[in-house]
Amino acid sequence: MKWYKIYDFVMDGAEPQALYSVRTVEVSKTLVCLGRLPDGYFAVSDKCPHASGRLGLGECTHEGKVVCPHHRYKYDMKTGSGNPEQGDYVETYIVETRNDGVWITLDKQKENNIPWWKSLFGK
Ligand code: FES
């Protein structure tokens, strides 16, 4: 698994991103929407599956959902699932907070951490 450092706590400070915020980060030429919730950092694809809006330019609710800035579709930052009425989902990525910073991998989810929709749709 290849890991990329998003934040360095020495260079970027202990809290480099505000709580309940999202932003776009580029990881090895892939745009990722990175959100910070009370229990850590979470990442989903930056590309909204509805009409390709930039999720990292949206906002984060206190329920842990990113709101797309275009048509306000919502996606759970932890599972990637869209609101039930949307019937869609967005790719999730593994993020780890370590002693020295925040790290992400673009590799596939660990087998024991497969989002519910991947088992439903076989993707
Ligand atoms: S492009 Fe994201 S809700 Fe339409």
- Ligand 1 geometric centre to CA of 114 (Å): 24
What rounded mean pLDDT belongs to the chain? 92
Residue 44 belongs to domain with CATH number: 2.102.10.10
Our answer on whether the CB atom of 56 is closer than 6 Å to any ligand 1 atom is no
* Percent of the chain surpassing pLDDT 70: 87
The kind and range of the H/E element at 74 are strand 74-76
Which pLDDT tens digit goes with each residue over 63-117?
Answer: 999 999 999 999 999 999 999 999 999 999 999 999 999 999 998 755 555 666 6
In ligand 1, the atom with minimum distance to the C-alpha of 51 is 1
DSSP secondary structure string, 43-82?
EEESB-TTT--BGGGSEE-TTSEEE-TTT--EEETTT-BB
**Cα gap 27→16, rounded to integer Å:** 17
- Ligand 1 geometric centre to CA of 115 (Å): 21
End-to-end CA distance of the chain: 19
Q: What's the structural domain count of the chain?
A: 1
Our answer on whether the CB atom of 83 is closer than 6 Å to any ligand 1 atom is no
Residue 29 pLDDT grade (very low, low, confident, very high; cuts 50, 70, 90): very high
